[in-house]
Structure 1
């Protein structure tokens, strides 16, 4: 009863700020990229406080760094602070070990500890935008559960910051499907969509709601099943990898790795593959550019990536000649070009192949954010289907 009273109080707060969320409505938020990290964040308000949360399809956890953090990472915007935040009670059904949460009956509170953050779990009002009519409106969703990070042992997300603008990301928006703490389950919606822009100054939109893209069809739309059921990860069956139309001789068990498939993860900056797959891609790329341009990779790189070329000497980027294809179950093919396989590092005079080797032997192959740029992805969780097509984000 105490928890219900607190949530009812949040409803009253939200109604003072804007119209409340209606079932069947589509919510949206602007999405932008953090330069250098290839993490993409949605701008939302929590308790009236603007925060930037990195989109993450590989976790159900939503959290933001607190202004009262003891151990903090650098962020270029103010840390989260809200007078309307209400701590979660220890006996709340969301507060379970399976969700990474710990009840504390002694003080009737719930804490969380995820891979890179720990703190207090609780409730507040999230504010998105509606796209259900021609006039855009703010829409408040009261009583959403999330974590407020006090101890944040997070490595710097900026692998290489070309803009010098600092880190705008204060936390993560978990879009996983398996836990009651996930935003999808809390909103009782089973569909979301995003498009990640290539240029960091550009903005696109993230959508969440069962009515989005209801008629998402057309000659360029590709569709493939999402494998598994009630799991946190969105697995796809990757059947082949091709470079310039030639399929690489990678065994199916290598592409599937653990029998599940490849994970589509917009919270991972780059795609990563196990040794057998990565080594074949690495060699095929080297062979291709040696053959067409006589170019050899750098023996040593300053960027830290494995396969890089001299930027001043390169003769292949921008010519539209290099292509790579990921072929999925059902005939869906994700087409990549130079802009989604190579990245330029001007002040290092390098241009590098932006797929990496899996570091943890227990981790499956991952389709990361850099390889998803300028495409619209629609996750239909209820139907276990993923659709994608080219888009000018």
Structure 2
């Protein structure tokens, strides 16, 4: 009898190991992706067909400038004793890209367009009952209709995660205060999210993802009924970047942005759905306590074949939190800290003066960019590239990702701007390069790619 029991116990143990291994393999093979929806593409719910390409560029530039100016004029603000503001403060803005997900199960499963933000801590959407919600075109999420919905409870033995939440009536509450007066208040919750799959275009469901169920939201920016919230891909524990590690992402997400103005489809990919082709380079991601942006080390810049010789501290992050260089798909163009921008501007002026191109006043052509020239025959053969000398890698930005070509105005302009506090690699300069963020290895990998061919989820 003892042998039978012993054999049965061993059998159950082996079955448990096999089942665990099977579930692990399934998780690793799970393929998740989102279609990236550019705000000014025909696939966007807020697409305006009456805008010209130049108007779309300037609108995207305006949104980007608003984000960056607010982000770098920030003072932490306490909000009382019961609820803690997420720090460092962040802003609400219309991001360049949205993603579509479903939240909930059963009759409570609703599809939402969420702004994609690699600089946010917590994914959130507006929920019933709404104490104060902005008007959105998609239904407010109703937790009572989703049988898989749960609030994140808290106790002395199971406190709310990190320092960004506060326990009230045994539930984790949050308040995200954005620069400029926007805010969202609610409870930390969990539910099932639906993602696109690369197999037949069906949805792949992931259970128990934490998100913010917001019951009181005030936005100071125009939103036209979209988005219905934010998808966070920052470096915090509650962002989807880290939550999806146990659901097949392997701690990796990747995107390849088509050039602005292209109608091609591209995808935000996770885990084994990421394929990197060609020469791949890597540079370390610098984790910073309390900051969820993806900082990397920029040492120097070359214009064409001329290295400018910046001192490394030009782009270093300073003890007061200013400075540094980070990658952000939510910013439309690249910003360089002002002394570096002025040095690059001087080099470009000298370069094009030598090529006999005529510089023009950007204000005359109604653009917010700072440096423009007239076309001349065969100008394409005269255009320089720029190289970012990173830690352990060289990122080459070709001229089509450096300059705005305003065909109707007969000019082209340098698509970077100065900024007093920090430097940032924006989406315009990221086009036609695949970026892969690995939060477990603290590493950014990148390689050239024709992103207009990134059409299969």
- For the aligned pair, the TM-score class normalised by the smaller chain equals 0.7 to 0.9
TM-score of the superposition, structure 2-length normalised?
Answer: 0.66
Which residue does the alignment assign to 1:26? 31
Which residue does the alignment assign to 1:267? 330
Per-residue deviation, 1:141: 1.3
Which of 386, 390, 393 does residue 448 from structure 2 map onto?
390
Alignment of 1:170-185 (within 5 A): 170-177=228-235, 179-185=236-242
1:225 and 2:281 are equivalent in the alignment: no
Alignment of 1:1-393 (within 5 A): 22-24=26-28, 25-35=30-40, 36=56, 37=60, 39-47=96-104, 48-64=109-125, 70=132, 72=134, 78=138, 80-82=140-142, 83-84=145-146, 86=149, 88-89=151-152, 91=154, 95-96=160-161, 98-99=163-164, 101-105=165-169, 108=171, 110-115=173-178, 116-121=182-187, 122-131=189-198, 134-149=199-214, 150-156=216-222, 169-177=227-235, 179-188=236-245, 189-198=250-259, 199-209=261-271, 211-213=272-274, 216=276, 218=278, 220-228=279-287, 232-258=292-318, 261-298=324-361, 300=363, 303-309=366-372, 313=375, 318-319=380-381, 321-330=383-392, 332-344=393-405, 351-359=412-420, 361=421, 364-393=422-451
Q: CA RMSD in A?
A: 3.4
Larger of the two Rg values belongs to structure:
2
Residues 277 and 447 in structure 2, CA contact (< 8 A), matched pair in contact too: no
- Number of aligned residues: 350
- Structure 2 CA distance for aligned equivalents of residues 342 and 45 of structure 1: 37
TM-score of the superposition, structure 1-length normalised?
Answer: 0.76
SS at match of 2:360: coil
Inter-CA distance 184–306: structure 2 relative to 1 (3 Å threshold): closer
Inter-CA distance 151–46: structure 2 relative to 1 (3 Å threshold): same
Q: Structure 2: which 5+ residue stretches go unaligned? A: 1-24, 41-55, 61-94, 452-457
- Structure 2 CA distance for aligned equivalents of residues 95 and 175 of structure 1: 20
Q: Structure 1: which 5+ residue stretches go unaligned? A: 1-20, 158-165
Q: Say which is worse superposed, 113-122 or 83-92, in terms of deviation.
A: 83-92
Inter-CA distance 317–386: structure 2 relative to 1 (3 Å threshold): farther
Per-residue deviation, 1:317: 6.1
Per-residue deviation, 1:354: 2.0
Q: Say which is worse superposed, 167-176 or 139-148, in terms of deviation.
A: 167-176
Per-residue deviation, 1:318: 4.3
Inter-CA distance 321–60: structure 2 relative to 1 (3 Å threshold): same
Inter-CA distance 304–71: structure 2 relative to 1 (3 Å threshold): farther
SS at match of 2:287: coil
Question: Alpha-carbon deviations, 1:148-176, whole Å to 9, x = none?
Answer: 4542425358xxxxxxxx78644332112
Residues 375 and 389 in structure 1, CA contact (< 8 A), matched pair in contact too: yes
Residues 365 and 409 in structure 2, CA contact (< 8 A), matched pair in contact too: yes
